[in-house]
A and B are shown apart, each in its own frame.
Chain A
Amino acid sequence: MVSTQTLIFGLVIGSYIGLAAIGFSLIHGLVNMFNIAHGEYMTIGAYLSFVLMNQLGLGLFVSLVLGIAATSIAGLAIAKFFYQPLYETGPIPLLLTSIGLSFLLRNVIQLGFGADNKYLEGGLTGVYRTDALGGFFLQYSQALVIALALLTILLLHLLLTRTELGIAMRATSNNETLAQITGVATIRIRDYVWLLASGTAGLSGILLAQQRTLTPALGYNDILIILTAAILGGAGNVYGAVAAGFFLGIVSATATSMLPSGMASLATSVIFFMLIVALIVKSHVIEGNRGVIAT
């Protein structure tokens, strides 16, 4: 049986995987590309919060807001400069460019900040302990990660269902040509999607930096897991991506707790294996030209 403690670890991992998978999935649905550099947006967010908190001494919440805003703008600028000229060439040149960009950004970050481990200062400290439910502890920073992830998902849900912009986004994702015909400026919609995707990735990175040591490969290390969540959740399906993110988080935490200590990192292997299985299973579910099978 999964203990409460393992469940908490799983929810924390799931929170930032889910948050990052939202943007990855949106971009996959709307721009029709796998953005391998998505992990680097997380790293950018994390290092921005390092600058804001450690070097400028700003508070956690101010840093969160500024960090998310700056990552969104950086993400949009990157898309305008690197991706937009390739929108018409199909998914492969975009995929290759995103790999190049991932190398470029990761190593530029390393040139700027060095490869050594960094630790955030000024995050939430303190732990809540209880003997209830078999006994567990919850760091306040962990509670913050889960709460912010849930809040973001709620806001995103409202955006997608209650606002004209959100509805236009869904329409574009569903059928770009039809959306264009009905008067949606799809290029502008893509710009908003880039803002949203990189902003949520930035948030995910900032939250991740509260939990782990900060290195230039912070986001890159998780990109395949994020990709797995996005694929498991279905192309462009935001809710699916979030659910898959939490599912993978709990799977990963459970696997880590059950594997012998020397083999704990096999938890990632479990996820990669699930990715391959998911792809094969999906190849039998034909979803027209949005499906994963060759048409």
Chain B
Amino acid sequence: MIGDRLKLLSNPGIFGSAALLAGIALLASRLLLYPPGNAFVFIEVGILFLFYGLLVLGLNLQYGFTGIINFGHVLFFGVGGYATAMLVAPESARGIALGLPWPIGLAGAIIAAALVAGIVGFASLPLREEYVAIATLAAAELFTDVTANLPSITGGAIGYVSIPQPINIWAGGHYGTFLTSTLLVMIGVLSFGYVVFRRLTDGPYGRVLRAIRADKEITDTIGKHVFRYEMEVFVFAAIVAAIAGSIYALFIGAAAPGLYTADVTFLLWIGMLVGGAGNHRGVLAGLGIVMAFELLTRFLNDLPYYTSQQFGALRLAMIGLLLIVIVRYRPEGIWGNAKEQGIE
């Protein structure tokens, strides 16, 4: 009986609902949680992983299934964050700030991302694959550059720092409860995201996407409108990224150009390639490995001789090396399928 119940939890949809309910229950109960002091950093990185997990699932739908090389995925995380910030931030903020309730902020993020992704996708997807990479990278750089330089609209380099944080407000400003309930809620959100992506790729739709990745021309010949599928995938993943960006802005209460740099996109790419593109669980695990590695090397900071800045450099150097090694020696990633990815 209990065994059966536990088995139910291995279904990501039910597991996600349970986590979401637990998070809401925790907030409603007004319990004050005191995680041990050194656990905070793990929870914080865990939460960031859940946000980036939504991004990497979208990136994997684009690259792992459809073969679209998007080097600007962080753009939509940023669009979601800024749209929410502009709509929700109190009117005293520096850029546009409308002080509306957060659900409007979330809806605004979705609409803004759909529009931006529509434009970027329409302009870049007809290009050859490596040029799609460059065009999307440039679009993302353009976004951070423009937001950093228009103080009266986007708050400039500082951005927004006082966005109301709904979960924090419900938690009564108690940091332990706030973090734990955010963690639970985000486990729920990522699980739902996972179910949606799984459904999408397991069905006939996913087979068309894989066909596009394998050979665009043949897929076109058998009557599938390749460009339309690519646009759908591009916009859908962008919307998921914007939802993540919106919730992230509401979680940390801030949106700034420095949160949406190309480094985030590269981290996602490395996580995806390490785990194995084309495998939803694989890319999540790959991202987890890379982020855990980053977290663990953080503790080495306590060693003498090195400043934390130097350790940051060492960490990034090793992540760069990891990308080189993966591409050369295991291009299909740890859990990827070499045959499906067209690697001999």
Contacts and interface: CB of A to CB of B under 8 A. Distances in A.
B180 to A, nearest CB: 34
25 contacts: A34-B134, A85-B328, A93-B327, A95-B130, A99-B320, A100-B324, A103-B266, A103-B316, A105-B320, A108-B317, A111-B313, A111-B314, A115-B309, A224-B138, A224-B141, A227-B134, A263-B149, A265-B149, A269-B145, A272-B138, A272-B141, A280-B123, A283-B127, A294-B128, A294-B129
A196 interface: no
A83 B282 CA distance: 27
Contacts of B338: none
Contact of B145 (A85, A86, A105, A266): A266
A103 B323 contact: yes
B126 A283 contact: yes
A159 interface: no
A276 B151 CA distance: 24
A261 B295 CA distance: 40
Nearest to A227: B134
A272 B124 contact: no
B69 interface: yes
Given A99-B266, A103-B317, A294-B126, A275 B134 contact: yes
Nearest to A115: B309
Contacts of B131: 279, 283, 292
Contacts of B141: 224, 268, 272
Contact of B313 (A34, A100, A107): A107
Contacts of A99: 266, 269, 320, 323
B319 interface: yes
Interface in B99-149: 123-124, 126-131, 133-135, 137-139, 141-142, 145-146, 148-149
Contacts of A291: 128
Contact of B129 (A92, A110, A227, A283): A92
A276 B143 CA distance: 12
B135 A279 contact: yes
B296 to A, nearest CB: 18
Given A276-B135, A294-B129, A107 B324 contact: no
A231 to B, nearest CB: 7
B198 interface: no
B127 A96 contact: no
B61 to A, nearest CB: 17
B87 to A, nearest CB: 24
Contacts of B208: none
Interface string A95-128: 1110111111111101100110000000000000
Given A100-B321, A107-B320, A92 B309 contact: no
Nearest to A96: B327
B276 interface: no
B62 to A, nearest CB: 14
B22 interface: no
B145 A279 contact: no
Contacts of A216: 313
Interface string A250-283: 0000000000001101101100110110011001
Given A102-B320, A227-B134, A292-B131, A96 B273 contact: yes
A279 B120 CA distance: 12
A228 B141 CA distance: 13
B216 interface: yes
A69 B154 CA distance: 46
Contact of A279 (B134, B151, B273, B327): B134
Contacts of A178: none
A279 B134 CA distance: 9
B32 interface: no
A62 interface: no
B316 A272 contact: no
Nearest to B325: A100
A91 interface: yes
Given A107-B317, A263-B149, A96 B309 contact: no
Contacts of A34: 130, 133-134
Nearest to A266: B149
